[in-house]
Structure 1
Amino acid sequence: MAVFVKVAEAGSFAAAAAALGLSQQMVGKHVAALEARLSARLINRTTRRQSLTELGRAYCEQCRIVLAEAAAADALAEDIAAEPRGRLRVNAPVTFGSARLAPVVVRYAARHPAVEVDLVLSDRKVDLIEEGFEAVIRIGTLQDSSLIARPLAPYRLVVAAAPAYLARRGEPEHPRDLAGHDCIVFIGSSEARSRTWIFTQGDEQAAVPVAGRLRMNDSRAILWAVEAGSGIMMGPEELLAPLMADGRLRRLLPDWQAPSWPMHILTAPDRRPTAKLKRFVEMVMAEFPRRG
């Protein structure tokens, strides 16, 4: 098939033989063997010129597809056996990246010593192609794009405060009680969303305007203030979970669901991704699997 396609592309047996490093007679034998197996003529030959038959044109297109699939299968086998190497550029939101993705990157780098990893954290929506990233973690609803999006576990929020604050101000029993508390507001891209905390319980929804004297644009800074007893925060469950487990923070309103957003790892469409990228995507998906 490969010889036949080369003959079709080169326009003659002689040109195909030169391109493939074969004799003209050997090229002719390959094509003749293919025609004998098919019991049909693929190329019309005259002393002056040669041309594909109608069947030859259609068969040539199918051969190209088969050869491309075979090359992709060979490349996959090579990648599986290959040692990941080179530089891998990854982008992620600041809070998720520092709290949860950075440890994964460290383990990945330890497992693949021939790879150098650039982890760039930013809450700005980067352009994966133009800015040279190979993988991007994105939180929120995706817009239509040509990128490959693989779903991860949702990014869930919870509400928590320090025992010292609750001893001083009391514990809210309903979301509307938050209006009377010091809530530390995250200054993000959506001011309205930051100042209105939304909860659901079954079919009931509560949208509560919150306020406080402290407003910050970094979840870790807010977390420090909350640990110090300065107020109540709504933050990522994975960031707060260790502090709630050891009693430094207490989860509030456990019967109410705070928002959760879809999370994906994005890569460029590529028939043959590099070994370094494939291993990284596999590791991230195993670390943050989407259930159901």
Structure 2
Amino acid sequence: MDRLDAMRAFVTVVNEGSFIRAADRLNLSAQLVSKYVARLEQRLGVRLLNRTTRRLHLTEAGVRYHERARQVLDDIDELESQLDELHDQARGLLRISAPVSFAIRHLAPLISDFQQAHPAVGIDLQLNDRKVDIVEEGFDIALRIGHLKSSSLIARKIAPVRLVMCASPDYLAREGTPLHPEQLARHRYLHYSYMELDAEQGPGRWLRGKEAAFSSNNGDVLVAAAMAGAGIALQPTFISGQAIREGRLRLVLAEHEPAPMGLYAVFAHRQLMASKVRCFVDFMEGYFGDPPYWDRF
């Protein structure tokens, strides 16, 4: 049994939460992955995982081994990345976490262009609006939108993200166009569940704490509802910009827009950055234009 193969199988099982998903990730059979883990436990003389019909649970020994094994594998990957950089060739699988709506609307052309420039890099793109733990969940890069707080991670700003209030022409004709944020109190508000409003600036002072007529954790749904006349939405222009440009939505209280946020590429701090990560981050910078193409309306 190859120790590194067994170690990688175990770490992948823990990261993925199941033998089947780990097998898919490693392009192996679930039976072989299970055999690797079983033989690893036999060689170490300890149980690393407790298996139930629904979940896997790390033992105390498993927690300790997983932490050190993951570091060993990271060190090996970094060592190999040094060799990559000797001939300046990005290669390997690049795991990326990205927000759902942004990725669906804007990432496919970028990834296609990147892979044409770097054909030796494979892409595993996972869409999720929650804040993933890129180290624990095995991502190389996470794209995040917002005002980033200080952390041990490295963040590179890729593009500004403009937030606008918008509603359909039919809704505004029926309910009236608010001329001051105080008038938002009598309007139907379409709320994005993950948005944290600053109570000191923009419309946050009047929307913070207001009960939403419709709340969702997906911005595309809220923009579609706004186009259907359901109310006023506060959404980024990378989602709403096309509808505004086409006249299906109109800006509301444009002079009271919140301060712009940012689209950031976030990655773990390592002494040696893998060439695939460096190349992808460098490629993203400036790709969307200045201002970004979705703001041109």
Q: What is the 5 A alignment of 1:165-244?
A: 165-188=171-194, 193=197, 198-199=201-202, 206-209=205-208, 210-244=210-244
Query: Is the CA contact (8 Å cut-off) linking 1:152 and 1:265 kept in structure 2?
Result: yes
**Which letter does structure 2 place at the counterpart of 1:199?**
G
The aligned counterpart of 2:270 is 270
Distance 1:171 1:143, change over 3 A: closer
**Within-5 A mapping of 1:33-182:** 78-80=86-88, 82=89, 84-182=90-188
Q: Determine which structure has more spread, i.e. the larger CA radius of gyration.
A: 1
Pick closer, same or farther for the CA change 1:148–1:162 going to 2, 3 Å: same
C-alpha distance 182-144 of structure 1, shift in aligned 2 (>3 A): closer
In 2, Cα distance between the equivalents of 1:145 and 1:172? 39
Identity of aligned residues (%): 34
1:55-94, Cα deviation, whole Å (9 max, x unpaired): xxxxxxxxxxxxxxxx9xx9686353x2x33211011223
Change (3 A) 1:117 1:184: same
TM-score, normalised with respect to structure 1: 0.62
1:240 is matched by which residue type in structure 2? S
SS of 1:136's equivalent in the other structure is strand
1:220-269 deviations in Å (ceiling 9; x for gaps): 11111111111110001222111111111111112222243344212223
Asked if structure 2 preserves the Cα contact closer than 8 Å seen for 1:75 and 1:272, the reply is: no
In structure 2, the gaps of 5 or more residues are 1-78, 292-297
The residue type paired with residue 174 of structure 1 is H
Q: How many residues align?
A: 210
Partner SS state of residue 277, structure 1: helix
CA 1:230/1:91 → structure 2, altered by over 3 Å: closer, same or farther?
Answer: same
Kept in 1, the 8 Å contact 2:92–2:121? The answer is: yes
RMSD: 3.0
Q: TM-score, normalised by structure 2?
A: 0.61
User: What is the deviation of 1:211?
Assistant: 4.0
Equivalents in 1 of 2:231, 2:140: separation in Å?
39
Match of 2:283 in 1: 283
CA contact (8 A) 2:168 2:249 kept: yes
